[in-house]
């Protein structure tokens, strides 16, 4: 199949995926007991941005292998488990709400900086260098980690602590797997030389 035709199919697939995420976002808002709560609004904002970026992202220059995807899926799943396992948003203490909203806002800014290069699963697209990408190479993952911490703070438990302990190694490994793929691009190699820190400035 010609590359141009493959790109058309990929654009159609991305559009359908984006519309699906948007549909479930609307359903989630409609079914929420507290749709105007800061936590609910933050999730709706993040999901809406994800839907839009999925729908209009550019075709990938290179896709990751199934092994790359295998490492990405648990990270996405853990985030979902954290949020859906948390108590109703109206019961969250202010500290947990603040952490969660800060994480969402950081993730949103990072995703908007990625623009049409956004991807959930590992793939090579245009390298983002603006916004928070000027300071760390994976700011969206930092935002997601802060969101997970906020969910844990909403209702601390040993199960939540165990799940939180899994976030760090999974995120670190996901970043290493992604960077192995992204390093096939000379643009990303140059970017990695300019921006030293992967996730947390001064730490790693």
Closest C-alpha among 61, 45, 172, 62 to residue 112 = 45
Instruction: Give CA separation, 126 vs 36, 117, 123, 133, in Å.
Output: 36, 6, 10, 13
* 83 three-class SS: helix
Domain borders along the chain are 3-194
pLDDT digits (tens, 9 = 90+) for 134-176: 999 999 999 999 999 999 999 888 888 888 888 888 888 889 8
pLDDT digits (tens, 9 = 90+) for 174-200: 898 888 888 888 889 999 999 999 999
Q: HSE (CB half, 13 Å, CA atoms) of 160?
A: 16
Task: Return the CATH architecture of domain 3-194.
Answer: Up-down Bundle (1.20)
Q: What global pTM score does this model have?
A: 0.85
Among 32-36, 78-82, 179-183, the minimum mean pLDDT is found in 78-82
Strand partners, 116: none
Which single residue is written with the structure tokens 């990072």? 110
């Amino acid at each position: 199949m010609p590359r141009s035709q493959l790109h058309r199919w990929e654009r159609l697939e991305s559009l359908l995926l984006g519309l699906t995420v948007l549909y479930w976002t609307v359903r989630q808002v409609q079914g929420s007991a507290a749709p105007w709560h800061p936590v609910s609004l933050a999730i709706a904002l993040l999901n809406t941005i994800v839907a839009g970026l999925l729908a209009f992202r550019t075709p990938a220059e290179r896709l990751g292998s199934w092994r790359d995807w295998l490492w990405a899926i648990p990270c996405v799943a853990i985030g979902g488990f954290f949020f859906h396992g948390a108590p109703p948003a109206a019961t969250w203490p202010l500290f947990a709400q603040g952490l969660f909203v800060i994480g969402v806002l950081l993730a949103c800014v990072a995703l908007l900086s990625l623009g049409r290069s956004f991807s959930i699963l590992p793939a090579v697209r245009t390298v983002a260098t603006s916004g928070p990408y000027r300071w760390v190479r994976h700011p969206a993952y930092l935002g997601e980690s802060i969101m997970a911490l906020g969910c844990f703070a909403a209702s601390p438990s040993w199960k939540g602590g165990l799940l939180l302990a899994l976030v760090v190694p999974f995120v670190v490994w996901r970043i290493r797997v992604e960077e192995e793929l992204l390093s096939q691009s000379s643009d990303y190699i140059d970017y990695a030389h300019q921006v030293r820190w992967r996730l947390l400035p001064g730490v790693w």
